[in-house]
Amino acid sequence: DFLFFWGAVFLVTTTLVAFLKKENQELIPAKEETKGITDTYRLLFSIIKMPAVLTFCLLILTSKVGFSAADAVTGLKLVEEGVPKEHLALLAVPMVPLQIILPLVISKYTAGPQPLNTFYKAMPYRLLLGLEFAFLVWWAPKVKHEGGFPIYYYAVVVLSYALHQITLYSMYVAIMAFNAKVSDPLIGGTYMTLLNTVSNLGGNWPSTVALWLVDPLTVKECAGAQGHTCATAAAAEV
């Protein structure tokens, strides 16, 4: 229902803009160099061949490996340990105002000549929060009782997620500020899109690998089945 409602709003508003908005013919637009698809990809290839861009892309593609397991798997493991999905969803609500405020606050520190300072200063704290998330998963079965989980456990989870959001947005805003700063204004859209795409890819591929490795790296114990390790899905099912 939520998706249907906003899909309908999106369709109605964009249709109204298409029919009701008129272009101002009196203003002469500034000459803008437009390129075809082939020329654009040639330009992208020439940008990515630059030594500085190549080094930056390599760094940004590997910089988030240390956070991948904590970011991708923590929520799933908490659910596996018995934390209700709806409770985890409710815990995301207090994060919304934080997510709105954080970019405004952090942008003051990334507006200077060295925006990546904020990125690397936030990195060790985010790595430490990965250990904190591991502790939360380990702690979950220890505090669980018949009625569910105590309030103090949820308070610690909310606080941990809030701290995680601060480090996450510090790195995110810093990298966006850096990309905007170094992009050539003449081809700003193409340049910045390339850097942002690499940045997004640098966050997505480690999470995918982390999720894929969960089963092979999980140690299982079989109750009442001597000689079985339950290492594979078939063995666990047996």
The pLDDT tens digits of the residues spanning 149-188 come to: 899 999 999 999 999 999 999 999 999 999 888 887 777 6
197 inside domain: no
Residue 19 in any domain: the answer is no
* Alpha-carbon distance values, 145 to 156, 212, 218 (Å): 17, 31, 24
Residues facing 145 on adjacent strands: 148
Total domains in the fold of the chain: 1
Indicate whether 8 belongs to any domain.
no
Q: Which portions of the chain are predicted below pLDDT 50?
A: none
In this structure, is residue 171 part of a structural domain?
yes
The residue count for the chain? 238
Domain of 130, in residue numbers: 68-187
Is the torsion defined by CA of 13, 18, 19, 22 positive or negative? positive
pLDDT attached to residue 34 = 61
- Whether 187 and 37 have beta carbons less than 8 Å apart is answered as no
Say if 208 falls within a structural domain. Answer: no
In a domain, 91, yes or no: yes
Give residue 188's pLDDT: 63
Amino acid 204: pLDDT? 93
Tell whether 179 is covered by a domain: yes
Considering the domain boundaries, does residue 110 fall inside one?
Answer: yes
